[in-house]
Amino acid sequence: MENEILQKLVEELSLQYFNRPFLHQATFNARLRTTGGRYLLKTSNVELNKLYFLEHGIEELKGIILHELCHYHLHIMKKGYKHEDKDFKDLLKQVGAPRYCKPLTTTTKKRIVPYKYRYICTKCGQTYLRKRKVDLKRFVCGICKSTLKQL
């Protein structure tokens, strides 16, 4: 799906669900990683994560678009457009938009960082897994206060 098709889809959903036109830009943003989309307050544009469309399909993308359009229309009407506002929650229910999007499985696998360092207590044998290196002169075992050794 290209940005031109996305723009038409957003405009159609805006008219269908809100009876109001969408007068700004809707684009895919490849840099979005942890969110399905975002509404930009300064420009009133909407950016969407293309990975949600590729992984979950058009229905999930439509839900994300409806969510962002709720932010958009409430902000333009000078009503409560934030997640915690009652106006926003009511409009979400009215149009059937999700409050949260499904998690991505493709990016969560990339974010898991394996532990690089393993330390063991010289007295009680307690093991510690750490992503960052530990200064063995400063840190001791949390159980018996003995010195640690790197494996």
Instruction: Report residue 52 as tokens.
Output: 């949600």
Q: Which residues contact 107 (CB under 8 A, 6 or more apart)?
A: 33, 34, 51
Distance CA 75, CA 73 (A): 5
The number of beta carbons lying within 10 Å of the beta carbon of residue 117 is 13
The answer to whether 148 and 139 are in contact (CB under 8 A) is yes
Active-site residue, selected from the candidate residues 12, 55, 60, 68: 68
- 3-state SS, one letter per residue, for 83-106: CCCHHHHHHHHHHCCCCCCCCCHH
Q: Is 12 a catalytic residue?
A: no
Q: Which residues contact 119 (CB under 8 A, 6 or more apart)?
A: 127, 128, 130, 134, 136, 148, 149, 150, 151
What residues are labeled active site? 68
